Structure 1
Amino acid sequence: MKTFIYNVLPSRVIFGNGTLAQIVQEITNLGCSKALILTTPRQSTKGEQLKELLGDMAVDVYTNATMHTPTNVTDDAVGIVQKLGADVVIALGGGSTIGLAKAIALRTDLPQIAIPTTYAGSEATPIIGQTENSLKTTLKTLKVLPEVIIYDVSLTMTLPTRTTITSGLNAIAHAVEALYSKEANPITDTLAGQGISSIAKALPILVNDSQNLDARSEALYGAWVCGTCLSTVGMGLHHKLCHTLGGTFNMPHAETHTVILPHSMAYNAPYAQEAMAKVANSLGVSNAAQGIFDLSKSLGAPSTLKELGMKEEDLEKAADIASKSPYPNPAPLEKEGLLQLLRNAYGGVRPN
């Protein structure tokens, strides 16, 4: 076996159905008593329900968590934290809400409790992406890793079908890139295979039966496993492209990951054959990129950047941004190649 390094991250993970009931004890375990609950506007009702559950331990609900974590929203939220004297932040929601909690923690060192309601996986990582002046940048630091993650399957039962699909495929992207990362190791390889397989098996069931508890459990477990992969190794081209499209062109996060994934895989495939073979094996197909593309199409997921609102004339600018700053990736990062990748994603061309 080859030499490898695996960093175990210091998070407490509680997984099950009905586990939200343990939230008061988890706040107490952290030595805290003044929780600020974070949600998006859409999930404000769930935030109020959690506030009622916490009673005197909740100081308020902040409902302005925003996609791609714009710094001006963080400025506002930190002001609320300081005004109310909060000593812990609780993120109830998906990547936008968890991103805001991380941004607050980065500035204040407050502990976080993450309660994911999607399959984004961000809660399992020490990575934060923030947007300022239409540019999204990422930072990796243990300061933004949540101290506690509460996975409660019951909170995902009302997840809309489209969000279920795109959020799940976004999670698979974490595992795919982990397999060809420079820091890949036998532990993350095993986890990546499990995560891809779990989500790929669960999504077709959930499209037809959104209330299937076993499939919801399998998908949420897969999301955590894929997020754990993302947390311990570096990401490459796929995430760089998606951050460019999200931060600069305000493209929707999970949907963009869904559309880009098969094309970024095809771009890297000649230089990451072993990794792609592992993905194909987890999917039960012969070609990994085609397998992801076909799975996505069969689920009714978006398949083109065009339908997400991307302008064709902006593709070259996106390729230019993504090729400028160097980052680890199996295949060479050449602007013309990236532009062709984006054109294929724009038109929804099935990978060769």
Structure 2
Amino acid sequence: MTIARDHSPLVFTHRALPQRVRFGTGHAARNVASEISDAGALRVMLIASEAKLAMARTVTGSVEPALIWTDVVQHVPAAVAEAARVEAVRAGVDLIVSVGGGSTTGLAKAIALTTGIPIVAVPTTYAGSEATNVWGLTEGARKTTGVDDRVLPGAVVYDAELTLSLPVELSVTSGLNGVAHCVDSLWAPRADPINAALAAEGIRALATGLRGVVADPGGLAGREQAQFGAYLAAVAFASAGSGLHHKICHVLGGTYDLPHAQTHAIVLPYVTAFNVGAAPAAERAIARALDASDAVEGLDALRDDVGAPSALRDLGFDPDRIREAAEIILPQVPASNPRPVDLDSLQLLLGAAADGRSSETLRGR
């Protein structure tokens, strides 16, 4: 007897990263204390920006850090990372607790990259870096990224109360960065059905959460959904790898010093519009997650609802440098991208994003 197949068989290899997640609003101090105790740590390094230091001291509770580091800089300059590493080794640190956004987590990762010191990450934004084994360092106006399991935080403590001080505008751009993790995961080099499932639920949760944050900035329900979605997004991204969107944004951030989350929020609809015509399964997944008939229209509706930024020139990007940026990006474009990418198409994409033109101009070119 022959069984007819009306679909392609599932054949893929999926890698899940080992990490413990403690999720609970109002439980951050208790959960961090448990992680420090479980690790048997005696000399803790606390990393937090000056703006987040009081919050971070509350989160670490009765533990007196052996070292407090507040020099946190966007895109993690290599010199800052090296200085922090030297001090961590000198202080005999055996555990890092990072409290803050992606830059704070990124600095903790940079220290762990060469020292192997374990990390407990306490995120206060929706960046998602805490759930990936991806590191990034900037030197000489170039951002270098890599993958190394030593930088994966062994534990993540999520507490929506810690995001209440995050302004709505930054909540929106940080959350759209999470949506970008999801979208890129649908066509990144190691995309698979598990990543697609995580990404779709991540988009749904983030869209619900961001709309909730905008409607009720002081409420916790929207912020909890946004944190949950950001975690799912990061897990999918860590497994699937970095796609076209992130290659573009890493260059824009590292070379032109554009703000990380805002850059991701602006570029997202342009990469999506560029790719979805050649990726019908991804298009359907994005549209369903956004409860829309079309992926690009669904993203545009979300961006309109939450007041997302729309043009790279508003962040200080000089349109005269579009060709230069495209030339830097092109060699980094993954071969897995569903649509061929060349210098001309990159310039068209960057030009539209620079001016904030409709992303529809990129569809089907």
TM-score by length of structure 1 reads 0.96
From 328, 348, 364, the equivalent of 1:321 is 328
Whether the 8 Å CA contact 1:40–1:96 is kept in 2: the answer is no
Which residue pairs with 1:2 in the alignment? 10
From 25, 29, 34, the equivalent of 1:25 is 34
From 282, 285, 289, the equivalent of 1:282 is 289
Which residue pairs with 1:333 in the alignment? 341
Whether the 8 Å CA contact 2:212–2:221 is kept in 1: the answer is no
Bigger mean CA offset, 78-87 vs 181-190:
181-190
C-alpha distance in 2 between matches for 1:221 and 1:271: 29
2:216 aligned partner, one-letter code? D
2:182 aligned partner, one-letter code? A
Bigger mean CA offset, 128-137 vs 176-185:
176-185
Bigger mean CA offset, 72-81 vs 326-335:
326-335
1:257 paired with 2:264, answer yes
Which residue pairs with 1:41 in the alignment? 50
Q: CA deviation digits over 1:14-57, x for unaligned, max 9? A: 11112211212211211211111111232222233345x1433x
Report deviation, 1:286. Answer: 2.2
User: Would you say how many aligned residue pairs link Structure 1 and Structure 2?
Assistant: 350
Q: Secondary structure of the equivalent of 1:284? A: coil
Whether the 8 Å CA contact 1:293–1:350 is kept in 2: the answer is no
1:159 paired with 2:159, answer no
Q: CA deviation digits over 1:303-338, x for unaligned, max 9? A: 000111111111111111101345232221201101
Report deviation, 1:297. Answer: 2.7
1:345 paired with 2:314, answer no
Q: Secondary structure of the equivalent of 1:110? A: coil
Q: CA deviation digits over 1:73-110, x for unaligned, max 9? A: 10111122122211111110010000000000001000
Query: Cα distance 1:134–1:54, how it changes in 2: closer, same or farther (>3 A)?
Result: farther
Report deviation, 1:202. Answer: 1.6
2:32 aligned partner, one-letter code? I
Structure 2 unaligned regions, length at least 5: 1-8, 361-365
1:243 paired with 2:258, answer no
Whether the 8 Å CA contact 2:67–2:88 is kept in 1: the answer is no
C-alpha distance in 2 between matches for 1:291 and 1:146: 33
Q: Please report the RMSD computed on the Cα atoms of aligned residues, expressed in angstroms.
A: 1.3
Q: Secondary structure of the equivalent of 1:55? A: coil
1:55 paired with 2:90, answer no
Q: CA deviation digits over 1:255-309, x for unaligned, max 9? A: 0000000001111122212101110111111221232133213311210001111
C-alpha distance in 1 between matches for 2:333 and 2:358: 28
C-alpha distance in 1 between matches for 2:34 and 2:55: 19
Which residue pairs with 1:110 in the alignment? 117
1:241 aligned partner, one-letter code? I
Whether the 8 Å CA contact 2:42–2:94 is kept in 1: the answer is yes
Aligned counterparts, 1:122-161, within 5 A: 122-161=129-168
Bigger mean CA offset, 287-296 vs 117-126:
287-296
1:277 aligned partner, one-letter code? R
C-alpha distance in 1 between matches for 2:320 and 2:113: 36
Report deviation, 1:188. Answer: 1.4
Which residue pairs with 1:101 in the alignment? 108
2:127 aligned partner, one-letter code? A
Which residue pairs with 1:226 in the alignment? 233
In the TM superposition, structure 1's runs of 4+ consecutive aligned residues that sit over 6 Å from their partners are none
Whether the 8 Å CA contact 1:290–1:351 is kept in 2: the answer is no
